[in-house]
Amino acid sequence: MAHIVFIGLGNMGRPMAANLQKANHSVTGFDLSAEARAAAAEAGLKVAASEDGLFAGADVVITMLPSGAAVREVWSRAVPQMAPGALMIDSSTIDVTSSRAAHDLAATAGLLSLDAPVSGGTEGATAGTLTFMAGGTDEAFAVGQPLLAAMGRRIVHCGGPGNGEVAKICNNMILGVSMIAVSEAFNLAESLGLSHQALFEVASTSSGQCYALTTHCPVPGPVPTASANRGYTPGFATELMAKDLRLSQEAADASGSRTPLGAAAEDIFGRYAANGGRGRDYSAVISYLKTL
């Protein structure tokens, strides 16, 4: 049993912390928001009223926060209070530069650290079926893997510090670009008189096959579980896709990598998020594309 401090009890963090508790770890959570703290306490979690005294004595601190700045801020307070050999894990989706800076902070204090962003959404967080993409040393991964396994089904060690975030933003860049491609194809087919179902039947078994088509199909009908059949309620919200694409483009700029389709996808999802897309599933971009 590990003594775990979990910072960030939002839509993802709360169910993830609950799964660690179910696996018989001693978990104490904290969130800046009183509302999030109350919801976590209601879900049966032990919740601290402040960060004071929380980090000293923790075996593991896990952060699940909205931004790189928030992660760096929390780690800069937690790391100096923890004993050498303790483990820091950040599961937020953040920029690679912040992630690597957080790892450096931990290493300087003799702590182990992992970036371990997730895919699988709130459903996966609740069911304990998340995929974790972990970056960090072999030693940190060996210690963290069983904890991640209590919250997820697939745990992939992607290499050194920050590589989990690299995998996450590259994967979501593929998804963002492919959702636009699939949506454009449905819109073109529609304007040429081809039914959605006919295009789906051909493309889903041909070279156009991809996750955006067969799992998150942006038109109602062909894939019953897709958000398009629920009025485009998320699912994966447009603003989160816009955030991940922005992170991919910041990383592309910083590394001098050329990603013209990623840049176009960032532009489209960013504009859609600012023009009615916020709070809607990212597959609803199909209707936004018609307005361009």
Most distant CA atoms of the chain, gap in Å: 66
Residue 7 makes contact with ligand NAD by CB under 6 A: yes
Residue 48 makes contact with ligand NAD by CB under 6 A: no
The residue among 109, 181, 104 whose CA lies nearest residue 135 is: 104
Catalytic residue among 46, 168, 243, 290: 168
Candidate residues 74, 112, 114, 143; the one interacting with ligand NAD per rule CB under 6 A: 74
Select 93 or 178, whichever has its Cβ closest to ligand NAD.
93
Helix (H, G, I), strand (E, B) or coil at 30: strand
- Among the candidate windows 1-9, 184-192, 222-230, 273-281, which touches ligand NAD by CB under 6 A? 1-9
Contact 1, 26 (CB under 8 A): yes
Q: How far is the CB of 117 from ligand NAD (least distance, A)?
A: 6
Q: Which residues contact 51 (CB under 8 A, 6 or more apart)?
A: 7, 30, 77
Select 63 or 199, whichever has its Cβ closest to ligand NAD.
63
Which residue is listed with tokens 């923790």?
58
Size of the site for ligand NAD (CB under 6 A): 24
- Active-site residue flag, 168: yes
Strand partners, 112: 87
Q: How far is the CB of 32 from ligand NAD (least distance, A)?
A: 4
Contact 123, 99 (CB under 8 A): no
Residue 65 makes contact with ligand NAD by CB under 6 A: yes
- Among the candidate windows 58-66, 132-140, 143-151, 218-226, which touches ligand NAD by CB under 6 A? 58-66
Q: Measured between alpha carbons, how far is 242 from 248 in angstroms, rounded to an integer?
A: 10
Q: How far is the CB of 189 from ligand NAD (least distance, A)?
A: 30
Candidate residues 2, 4, 13, 17; the one interacting with ligand NAD per rule CB under 6 A: 13
Strands (E), the chain: 3-7, 26-30, 46-47, 60-63, 87-90, 112-115, 118-119, 130-135, 152-159
Select 77 or 290, whichever has its Cβ closest to ligand NAD.
77
Q: How far is the CB of 38 from ligand NAD (least distance, A)?
A: 11
Task: Tell me the per-residue interface mask from 78 to 97 with ligand NAD, x by CB under 6 A, - otherwise.
Answer: --------------xx----
Q: At what angle do helices 96-108 and 163-191 cross, to 10 degrees?
A: 170
Please give the span between the terminal C-alpha atoms of the chain, in angstroms, as a whole number.
55
| Phi-psi group of 232: left, alpha or beta (phi > 0 → left; psi -120 to 50 → alpha; rest → beta) | left
Contact 228, 217 (CB under 8 A): yes
Q: Determine which helix (DSSP H) or strand (DSSP E) holds 191, and give its type and residue range.
A: helix 163-191
By CB under 6 A, what part of segment 214-273 binds ligand NAD? 240
Q: How far is the CB of 109 from ligand NAD (least distance, A)?
A: 19
Q: How far is the CB of 81 from ligand NAD (least distance, A)?
A: 15
Select 245 or 268, whichever has its Cβ closest to ligand NAD.
245
Where along the sequence are the contacts to ligand NAD (CB under 6 A)? 7-13, 30-33, 36, 64-66, 70, 73-74, 92-93, 118, 121-122, 240
Active-site positions read 168
